[in-house]
Amino acid sequence: MPRLTLTPPGDYDLARDVCSYGYFLLAPNRWHVEARTLTRVLSLPRGPVGVAISQPKGKALSVWLSHTLDTTNRAAAIIQLTRMLRLDDDEATIAEFHRVDPRFAASGRGRLFRSPTLFEDVIKTVTSCNVTWPSTVQMNLRLSDVLGHRIDAEPARIKGAKAPPSSSAFPLAATIARTRPQTLRARCRVGYRDRRIVELARLFRTPPKKGGIDTVFLEDPATPDDAVFDALVELPGIGPYAAANIMQLMGRYARLPLDTESVRHGRTLLGYKGSSAQVMKRLDEHYAPFGRHAFRSYWFELWEFYERKHGPAWGWERDSTGKMFTAALLNKA
């Protein structure tokens, strides 16, 4: 079976750095606990490919492929894997975060898992709004199963895996753009998000000059945070929370995506009292000193709280532990 080898930053730990944000539990991603391997299908210019990513000797990453890639697809696969795994967050960046917030220096935490493309991150964020986590899991499973391109070949191999790897990719913007909202609602159970998801897909397919999303402008590090935020909240289905969440997925950590779970965290761990709006204001003030690393400090504080309840994240199964993250259950905990 063909294979790619990727050299990550010297401090990279696949299990820690993949199992660092909830999207590792969302289809088409599949984390195999015992094999400590991430599988999924990537959509490449010349068709989908199944990948199985592991770190056998604690250094280089092995990426087993369902079939051999030509030069174009190979280059595209490396770009997508680099984005998803945050391989471009180098040691110096993570060390800077640890200087700002030394609480995470020992664990080495600093990288946050994301999707291979901005489009997938935006749609995943929309599926996480106004819904409990198990529904988000289901929506992404169905989106991939119903609209994702399937691979014909055997999925990439995984030593010691209990669950089969998925054989569908996340749907392309082009596919969703030509799907009827009613189909999304009926078959993917996305509810009232149906039109918003189709509109977003169409905006991703439309050139910026004709009113489409200007991904170059959004992803340019020189673009100020405020300009990115203003552009994102103009999009259908994207409010202040979703915009801030998409920004952290883009590597902009100064803003906090605050939701009801943040309020629970502020009340139970930080002892804040008052209305939700008051608690959110205090949370913003609390993490402001961490500057451009604010979200990392907030998130890993929250993540370690989850890990104290449920064990290390690399041991979470999507269909059991991975479904437990609802405010109601956490409040009981």
> Which residues contact DNA (rule: CB under 7 A)?
129-132, 134-135, 138, 185, 189-192, 196, 233, 235-243, 259-261, 264, 326-328
* Interacting residues of 234 by C-beta distance below 8 A, sequence separation 6+: none
3-state secondary structure of 176: helix
CB of 332 to DNA, least distance (A): 8
Q: Which is nearer to DNA, 83 or 265 (CB)?
A: 265
d(CA 322, CA 241): 22
Nearer to DNA, 4 or 324 (CB): 324
Cβ count within 10 A of residue 23: 21
Contacts of 100 (CB under 8 A, 6+ apart): 290, 291, 293, 297
Q: Please identify, using beta-carbon distances, which residue of 63 and 200 lies nearer to DNA.
A: 200
Kindly state the smallest distance separating residue 8's Cβ from DNA, in Å: 32
Cα–Cα distance measured from residue 133 to residue 135, given in angstroms and rounded to the nearest whole number: 5
For DNA, the closer of residues 37 and 128 by Cβ is 128
The nearer residue to DNA, 22 or 237, going by C-beta atoms, is 237
Alpha helix locations (H) across the chain?
14-18, 71-85, 91-100, 118-126, 133-147, 173-177, 181-188, 194-205, 215-219, 225-233, 240-249, 260-268, 276-287, 294-310, 327-332
Residue 253 CB, shortest distance to DNA, in Å, is 18
Smallest distance from DNA to CB 328, Å: 5
For residue 283, the minimal CB distance to DNA (Å) is 13
